[in-house]
Amino acid sequence: MAEQIKVTRSDSFENVSKFSENSDTMMSGDAKLSSSEQYGAIQIVKSEEKHKFILDHEALERILLQDHIKDKHVVVVSVAGAFRKGKSFLLDFLLRYMNFTYIEEVPNGDWMGPNDVPLEGFSWRGGSERDTTGILMWSHVYLATLTTGEKAAVVLLDTQGTFDSESTVRDCATVFALSTMLSSIQIYNLSQNIQEDDLQHLQLFTEYGRLALADTGTKPFQRLQFLVRDWSFPYEADYGEEGGRKILERRLQISEKQHAELQSLREHIKSCFSEISCFLMPHPGLKVATNPKFDGRLKDIEPDFKESLSQLVPILLAPENLLLKEISGVQVKAKDLVQYFKSYLNLFSGDELPEPKSMLVATAEANNLSAVASAREMYSSLIVPISSRLKTISSSFATQL
């Protein structure tokens, strides 16, 4: 099935904007990033004409098959939701935290940085037109020490916004479903409130997990983090995690008064995710919303927003909160994630949306191919040297005779 993927040259590496001058971690092995290619957002899933999505598997392998990364269990954090609602803007603050915590390793410091420094990383801009297309992966994979002592690889994904004027419903479903299937923490970025249509879209995008749920007895997806931006009702529920919990309980509550369809919708969402939480964010301020020259400097952002941001990001990315990616209850390594990307993208390569049944088949295929690759790797590292040595001994013995 993997052969069906259309291969593209990794041209996205030629125009990578640097995020950090820290290049201590150089890459080794066959999958390498040169120093000029480090620290950028790489488009690994691209949108083509006729609403087709293709995988730049060369770019993906360069990131995930680095020698110091490929055998690490992986944490995948993705941000998805409607277009022009600040997903990439949020991701760049996640990058600041990751650099501060897992590269600079400064304990209990101010990870948000100086007030007068522009925000860099994933491309973002103000305005009404879409900016991100397809799925982007940050080229630097962070190594984080979990509370168990294990070192895990942390991957950040940015996704094309849903429901812009150029995307079909199928496009939206494809990108959202892919990011949900591949992430361990899916941030569902919403504006102002959790509305009924937001839940309906979520049901549509997660429909592909139904069969996996029925066949394996486990929930197909892991953590869903509702993130409500520009929350305007702090008198009903406070900004932050506690207010989010209150609103989430109300929105997902099931009662006898509800229509059966509304009850089914809520049951479906709860059955698809192992963990669901919510966080309420205030508006970042008029300078952010209306100034076309705004470049992310903290001095231009409202204090309430910065305070909420300082609470939100550690909830997602602190070592004790990182969640290893699991598929069918098995933890996934970085090298395995490459195969899942290939298998899942093939699932959406046809003209129609796949049946939910196909997800289970694609997962099984990826599991099998990953197991074969691991067995081949073990054979090469253990059996081949022994076989070679035995041949040498046999040849030596024959010479003596």
Q: Is the pLDDT assigned to residue 173 strictly greater than 60?
A: yes
The tokens describing 334, both together, are: 């970085």
CA atoms of 197 and 205, how far apart (whole Å): 12
Q: How many domains does the chain have?
A: 1
Query: Tens digit of pLDDT for each residue in 188-219?
Result: 999 999 999 899 889 887 876 565 445 666 78
Q: Which helix (H) or strand (E) holds 226?
A: strand 221-229
- Which whole number is the average pLDDT over 341-362? 66
Query: Tens digit of pLDDT for each residue in 375-400?
Result: 666 656 666 566 666 666 666 655 65
Angle of helix 196-206 relative to helix 169-182, nearest 10 degrees? 70
Residue 351: Cβ within 10 Å count: 8
**Phi-psi label, residue 240: left if phi above 0, alpha if psi -120 to 50, beta otherwise:** left
CA atoms of 182 and 380, how far apart (whole Å): 29
Q: Please, where are the H alpha helices in 160-227?
A: 169-182, 196-206, 210-216
Q: In 53-184, at which residue ranges do the beta strands (DSSP E only) sit? A: 53-55, 74-81, 135-138, 142-145, 151-159
Average pLDDT score over the chain: 79
Between 238 and 163, the higher pLDDT residue: 238
The tokens describing 245, both together, are: 């919990």
Please give the pLDDT value at position 133.
73
Binning pLDDT at 50, 70 and 90, where does residue 129 land? very low
Closest to 144 in 3D by CA, of 93, 69, 85, 219: 69
Residue 257's alpha-carbon distances to 18, 205, 249, 263, 270, in angstroms, are: 55, 26, 16, 9, 19
Please give the pLDDT value at position 352.
62
Q: Is the pLDDT assigned to residue 360 strictly greater than 80?
A: no
Range of the domain at 163: 2-400
Assign residue 339 the CATH number of its domain: 3.40.50.300
Q: 218-227, 244-253, 263-272, 369-378: lowest mean pLDDT where? A: 369-378
